Amino acid sequence: MRSMQDKTCLITGANSGIGKVTARELAKRGAQIIMLCRNEEKAEQAKEDILKVCGHERVAIVLADLSSLTDIRRAAEQINATYDKIDVLNNNAGLIMGNKRETTQDGFEMSFGVNHLAPFLLTHLLLDKVMESPQGNIINVSSEAHRIAKLDFNNLQYEKGYSGLKAYALSKLCNILFTHELSKKLQGTSVVTNTLHPGGVASNFGKGTGSFFNFMFQLARPFLSSEEEGAQTSIYLATSKEGANVSGLYFKDKKPVKPSKAAMSDFNAQKLWEVSEQLLDIKFTVPSKINA
């Protein structure tokens, strides 16, 4: 494990589950932590818990609801104005919705918006700061659920045939495709990016959606991994030599594994990138500055 002293790590969804354990463990290794969370009360409570065990005070909260592009832009502005560099950007926050199709404040299907478009935009807005790190590391939390995804570029937001599970699976496929394309664009820079499945984890994930999936997930809780176990691959990628040196891979149990065929397609990755740029009305290019 590399020392995390002098590292600044941003973790989205750091108030709960896998994100909270990741933030706490990186803080314990000496890293400065930025917790990007949507709920101030929950974030303050999690921060207090982390401060009790991490042995320093360098833990900050940035509030943003990832279902709002305005919030994401405001949070990124705040971060860019406050920090010189970001060494680890952990796009961890994610949700699964119930069986009623809901949309973000900007009109995107919720799972696609929060799980894919939000990290896409946040990464775009913070990339200059990640490139300021001597060894920038972008870690995107995906899921084995990507294997059941049906990718139809004419129905990315499930206007037709919506279910919470289908939309979730697709958003997690998007996480891998985003990582795949981003790693290609980052070649020749000092920044790497990888993605991962954390395991089936008994966190707050899926609670309160009222869906059949949630019912089954709650039934399965005694057999699921703990939040501590679920955070191990994220922590590994943030702290290990391997995590700093490989890029574009999908990890499970701290080892690279092959994702689905759809997740390895250059065509899918490029097309998703272009569609995401169009939906967000941005041009996401990797800065030409070469750090490597």
| Interface with ligand NAP (CB under 6 A) | 13, 15-19, 37-39, 42, 65-67, 92-95, 114, 141, 143, 197-198, 200-201, 203-205
Least Cβ distance, residue 277 to ligand NAP (angstroms): 21
Please give the positions annotated as active site: 168
Nearest distance from residue 211's CB to ligand NAP, in Å?
14
Neighbouring C-beta atoms of residue 245, cutoff 10 Å: 9
CB of 289 to ligand NAP, least distance (A): 30
* Nearest one of 175, 150, 145 to 161, comparing CA atoms: 150
- How many Å apart are CA 259 and CA 250, to the nearest integer? 6
Given the complex with ligand NAP, which of 141 and 156 has the nearer CB atom? 141
For residues 191 and 85, is the Cβ–Cβ distance under 8 A? Answer: no
Query: Is the Cβ of residue 85 or residue 254 nearer to ligand NAP in the bound state?
Result: 254
Distance CA 139, CA 40 (A): 24
The smaller minimum CB distance to ligand NAP, of residues 42 and 254, is found at: 42
Q: Compute the least distance from the CB of residue 65 to ligand NAP, in Å.
A: 5
143 or 189: CB nearest ligand NAP? 143
Residues contacting 162, CB < 8 A, separation 6+: 99, 101, 109
| C-alpha distances out from residue 181 to 12, 176, 194, 201, 273, Å | 21, 9, 11, 27, 7
* Start-to-end C-alpha separation, the chain: 21
Least CB distance to ligand NAP at residue 16 (A): 4
Q: Please name the residue that has the structure tokens 């974030």.
A: 43
Q: Which residues of 66-81 are buried (b: 16+ CB within 10 A; e: fewer)?
A: bbbbebbeebbebbee
Query: Residue 42 or residue 74: which is nearer to ligand NAP going by CB?
Result: 42
For the bound state, the minimum distance from the C-beta of residue 55 to ligand NAP, rounded and expressed in Å, comes to 23
Residue 128 to residues 136, 185, 191, 281, Cα–Cα distance (Å):
10, 14, 11, 19
Q: Which two tokens stand for residue 60?
A: 């900050």
Q: Which one, 94 or 136, has the nearer CB to ligand NAP?
A: 94
Task: Give the H/E segment covering residue 287.
Answer: none
